[in-house]
Amino acid sequence: MAAVDDLQFEEFGDAATSAANPGTTTIHIEGPSESPTHQPGLPRGSGGEEDDELLGNDDSDKTELLAGQKKSSPFWTFEYYQTFFDVDTYQVFDRIKGSLLPIPGKNFVRLYIRSNPDLYGPFWICATLVFAIAISGNLSNFLIHLGEKTYHYVPEFRKVSIAATIIYAYAWLVPLALWGFLMWRNSKVMNIVSYSFLEIVCVYGYSLFIYIPTAVLWIIPQKAVRWILVMIALGISGSVLAMTFWPAVREDNRRIALATIGTIVLLHTLLSVGCLAYFFDAPEMDHLPTTTVAPNQTVATAK
Amino acid sequence: MAKAAESSGDPGTTSPRPLFAGLSDISISQDIPVEGEITIPMRSHIREFDSSTLNESVQNTIMRDLKAVGKKFMHVLYPRKSNTLLRDWDLWGPLILCVTLALMLQRSSIDSEKDGGPQFAEVFVIVWFGAVTITLNSKLLGGNISFFQSLCVLGYCILPLTVAMLVCRLVLLAEPGPINFMVRLFVVIVMFAWSIVASTAFLADSQPPNRKALAIYPVFLFYFVISWMILTFTPQ
């Protein structure tokens, strides 16, 4: 590629080989001390991905600088909020996949978000989860009470608003509290890794994705199945959260670090167990002898 | 006043100069006067048209709007790629459909148990705030559709689901049972698919190509929730 010679990237060594695009504007960087933040604000569309490759291995302060520089519009313009929705379809799918398969040692934020946090994922995953929980709870209650003579089906529409309040409060207030706490600890102990508020919201939003299929599977009226599902979902999303936040508190006092991670996992547990208990009636075994049992009952027979 | 003193980048680059690169060197001094005339032709025609609709009878006005709404209903029922819904948007149709749907879906106030179906206001809020949220989402993702055009399309595409509601209401007059439920389920599923196809036909083109799925998914969720409300409607 003849364009590579024009870029004078030789000082950076192997970073020049991934510079790539002939045809985009040429960038002159004078020396190794000159940080890439002197570039004019690059468009973060498809051309931005190559630059992400260049900077992806740097430590967090450079990506922090780039993240801070990206939002150059004032906050009252529409373009400011468009920067939070600058994701393509495949990126959203990648992030969802990353939240479902936590790899030990890999950080969700480093790997997938990489200074491009989006609000699309958290918002629509929470919206889907709200309706998934409300609808599955309704269906599950209907199926459990199917044979009872005194049962009259109600759509229980009020539970949608309650579910919405719970889920959105969890997905926004807990990251806010966690961010404030991490900022406070950062002022006391110098941490290498620090996350912006939007990255924390992003991690929490994508970690809730596992609960959508879990909520649908909670329709099955077996207590054991439900609790196994809770364990699996909690394991996956809890480990995503723990592995993301462990590097941020690692340098701190041992007890505070463990307490932080423990609180994160505990709140997550409370959310899932609380939703299971409130929206899904317990599958009772003892209502069978009082009703006429039809042969095609789906409820498990009691002993 | 228009002295554009600007250096156009590094002269040492060997890349081809982009279009209009030399324009930055041009400076307009003060001693060349710029003059001319700007006229807007056909202005008088428009004024005449405006005043004529002011003088027409009320029946004419209402019939014209009703015909526009009816024409758009036809476009929704037989969705082809056309621009009529987008070009001449109006919100009368969505309002009529939303009010009809909310009136049919509300639970009666006599039997106001705590966990019944939605109230009128809840349906209304879900439809309108859902449509506004989807529109904002598609605009934030970079779609080039205007706010009211998108509201218009989403509102008009509720028409199949309103028809489904009417059919369900009629079917519920018959005896309850699994066949009753199967018929209603089938009708709601068909109308839900119809709504999705109709709105996708109108909205998909205005999205950037690598984000189409991201913009269409909220539409799917929106119509799914409305279909769920229709399917679970039980008369008291």
Q: Which of B129, B139, B141 to probe by mutation at the A interface, max A CB count within 10 Å?
A: B141
Point out which residues pair with B134 in neighbouring strands.
none
Please tell me if residue A80 touches chain B, with a CB cutoff of 8 Å. no
**Does residue A45 carry a pLDDT above 80?**
no
A21: pLDDT confidence band, cut at 50, 70 and 90?
Answer: very low
Q: What is the pLDDT of residues A182-195, one digit of tens each?
A: 888 888 877 777 78
Q: What are phi and psi of A271, to 5 degrees?
A: -60, -50
CA–CA min distance B222, chain A (Å): 10
**Does residue A290 carry a pLDDT above 50?**
no
Model pLDDT, residue A179? 92
A20: pLDDT confidence band, cut at 50, 70 and 90?
Answer: very low
- Chain-chain contact of A82 with B221 (C-beta, under 8 angstroms): no
CA–CA min distance B218, chain A (Å): 8
> Mean pLDDT across the stretch A218-241?
91
Strand segments (E) across chain A? none
Q: What is the pLDDT of residues B104-148, one digit of tens each?
A: 888 766 555 666 778 888 889 899 999 999 999 999 988 888 899
Query: Domain total for chain A?
Result: 1
Model pLDDT, residue A39? 41
Q: How far apart are CA A15 and CA A54, in angstroms?
A: 6
Point out which residues pair with B3 in neighbouring strands.
B27
- Chain-chain contact of A6 with B217 (C-beta, under 8 angstroms): no
> Mean pLDDT across the stretch B54-62?
86
What is the secondary structure of A120-158 as a DSSP string?
Answer: HHHHHHHHHHHHHHHHHHHHHHHHHTTT-TT------TH
B42: pLDDT confidence band, cut at 50, 70 and 90?
Answer: low
Model pLDDT, residue B14? 55
Assess if residue B38 is contained within a domain. Answer: no
**Does residue A228 carry a pLDDT above 90?**
yes
- Chain-chain contact of A124 with B221 (C-beta, under 8 angstroms): yes
Model pLDDT, residue A5? 55
- Chain-chain contact of A128 with B10 (C-beta, under 8 angstroms): no
Q: Which residues of B are less than 8 Å from A138 in CB distance?
A: 232
CA–CA min distance A224, chain B (Å): 28
**Does residue A55 carry a pLDDT above 80?**
no
Assess if residue B29 is contained within a domain. Answer: no
Model pLDDT, residue B76? 85
Assess if residue A247 is contained within a domain. Answer: yes
Higher pLDDT, A150 or A47: A150
Q: Which residues of B are less than 8 Å from A157 in CB distance?
A: 115-118, 122, 229
Q: How far apart are CA B27 and CA B141, in angstroms?
A: 39
CA–CA min distance B199, chain A (Å): 19
> Mean pLDDT across the stretch A251-258?
85
**Does residue A35 carry a pLDDT above 50?**
no
A105: pLDDT confidence band, cut at 50, 70 and 90?
Answer: confident
| Shortest CA distance from A127: residue in chain B | B221
**Does residue A172 carry a pLDDT above 70?**
yes
Assess if residue B76 is contained within a domain. Answer: no
Assess if residue B68 is contained within a domain. Answer: no
Task: Tell me how crowded residue B206 is: count the other CB atoms within 10 A of its CB.
Answer: 19
**Structural domain for B163, as ranges:** 90-107+115-230
- Chain-chain contact of A87 with B142 (C-beta, under 8 angstroms): no
Assess if residue B103 is contained within a domain. Answer: yes
**Does residue A127 carry a pLDDT above 90?**
yes
Q: Specify the range with the lowest mean pLDDT, choosing from A275-279, B32-36, B60-64, B221-225.
A: B32-36
Interface A–B counts its CB contacts (< 8 A) at 72
A263: pLDDT confidence band, cut at 50, 70 and 90?
Answer: very high
Model pLDDT, residue A288? 46
Q: Which residues of B are less than 8 Å from A46 in CB distance?
A: 210
- Chain-chain contact of A92 with B141 (C-beta, under 8 angstroms): no
Model pLDDT, residue B61? 87
CA–CA min distance B214, chain A (Å): 6
Model pLDDT, residue B201? 86
Q: How far apart are CA A21 and CA A37, in angstroms?
A: 19
Higher pLDDT, B220 or B108: B220
Taking a C-beta distance cutoff of 8 angstroms, is the pair A45, A86 a contact? Answer: yes
For chain A, give the percent of residues with pLDDT over 90. Answer: 27
Q: Cβ neighbours of residue A238 under 8 Å, at least 6 residues apart? A: A264, A265, A268, A269
B29: pLDDT confidence band, cut at 50, 70 and 90?
Answer: low
Please tell me if residue A128 touches chain B, with a CB cutoff of 8 Å. yes
Assess if residue A56 is contained within a domain. Answer: no
Assess if residue B189 is contained within a domain. Answer: yes
Q: Which residues of A are less than 8 Å from B234 in CB distance?
A: 152-155
**Does residue A40 carry a pLDDT above 70?**
no
Assess if residue B97 is contained within a domain. Answer: yes
Residue A26: burial class (beta carbons within 10 Å; 0-12, 13-18, 19+): middle
Amino acid (one-letter) located at B116: G
Assess if residue A192 is contained within a domain. Answer: yes
- Chain-chain contact of A128 with B221 (C-beta, under 8 angstroms): yes
Q: Cβ neighbours of residue B47 under 8 Å, at least 6 residues apart? A: none
Higher pLDDT, A84 or A36: A84
- Chain-chain contact of B225 with A87 (C-beta, under 8 angstroms): no
Point out which residues pair with A279 in neighbouring strands.
none
Q: How far apart are CA A238 and CA A275, in angstroms?
A: 16
Query: Domain total for chain B?
Result: 1
Q: Which residues of A are less than 8 Å from B210 in CB distance?
A: 46, 88-90
- Chain-chain contact of B141 with A120 (C-beta, under 8 angstroms): yes
A196: pLDDT confidence band, cut at 50, 70 and 90?
Answer: confident
In sign, the C-alpha dihedral spanning B154, B156, B161, B166 is: positive
Q: What is the pLDDT of residues B98-115, one digit of tens each?
A: 999 999 888 766 555 666
Q: How far apart are CA A80 and CA B12, in angstroms?
A: 35
**Does residue B2 carry a pLDDT above 50?**
no
**Structural domain for A143, as ranges:** 78-280
- Chain-chain contact of A28 with B218 (C-beta, under 8 angstroms): no
Assess if residue A37 is contained within a domain. Answer: no
Closest in B13, B211, B232 to A155, CB measured: B232
A218: pLDDT confidence band, cut at 50, 70 and 90?
Answer: very high
Assess if residue A225 is contained within a domain. Answer: yes
- Chain-chain contact of B117 with A157 (C-beta, under 8 angstroms): yes
Model pLDDT, residue A50? 44
A292: pLDDT confidence band, cut at 50, 70 and 90?
Answer: very low
B208: pLDDT confidence band, cut at 50, 70 and 90?
Answer: confident
Q: Cβ neighbours of residue A264 under 8 Å, at least 6 residues apart? A: A178, A238, A241, A242, A245
Closest in A81, A84, A154 to B115, CB measured: A154
CA–CA min distance A76, chain B (Å): 14
**Does residue A49 carry a pLDDT above 50?**
no
Average pLDDT, chain A: 76
Assess if residue B74 is contained within a domain. Answer: no
Closest in A46, A82, A90 to B142, CB measured: A82
